[in-house]
A and B are shown apart, each in its own frame.
Chain A
């Protein structure tokens, strides 16, 4: 069974950086990209970027370029997402997700709530 297990909720001050982990099991970690998605309260999901665990190359959405870093550690089958220069608008649930077809997410993490407040 494919499982993606994320780290717990975070509370951060404006300007800080948050790091969220996503540990994968149930398949070969390097077989599929890991994507990260932001979902603000009451809004639709928004794609942030992805990492290819095979070569640790990342691609980012233009909106988050410069503030997001997505990495992968094949020794622990874990992907990470760092988001810096946090502002109140970054208060959201962040999900990691994956799937056989690029862009189609048939497996998701449970989500990590990040609250940004002074």
Chain B
């Protein structure tokens, strides 16, 4: 099983500033990497898949990069509604299965 490690655990950023979240995998797996945002009491929301493809309706300020074992989610200009916990997820198309990171809590300063 691939273990996903996210850093930092908590990130505090002022509105308008850039936020950079990291995700590291215990072994290389290509670019089957997704990012989700979760707010309290809600299901996760897909932001990015294939390491860099934005999901439908996701604003352009969200971008993903990386491959192999190192991945990054960047929010270029933080908005107040971007608070929440962000999870990275490594996924296999076949055989199916996936591993999530433990999350980065993004706080608005």
Contact = CB atoms under 8 A, between A and B. Distances in A.
Given A44-B87, A59-B96, A102-B93, A108 B43 contact: yes
Interface string B49-60: 110000110000
Given A101-B49, A103-B93, A43 B102 contact: yes
A45 B49 CA distance: 16
Contacts, number: 60
Nearest to B1: A62
A81 interface: no
Contacts of A33: 96
Interface residues of B, number: 26
A101 B43 contact: no
Sorting the interface of chain A by its residue count into under 10, 10 to 19, 20 to 34 or 35 or more gives 20 to 34
Given A44-B101, A47-B100, A103-B91, 15 more contacts: A33-B96, A45-B100, A47-B97, A59-B95, A95-B44, A101-B49, A102-B91, A102-B92, A102-B94, A103-B32, A103-B89, A103-B98, A105-B44, A106-B55, A111-B43
Nearest 6 interchain pairs by C-beta: A103-B91, A108-B43, A44-B100, A104-B49, A102-B93, A106-B46
Interface of B: 32, 34, 36, 43-46, 49-50, 55-56, 87, 89, 91-103
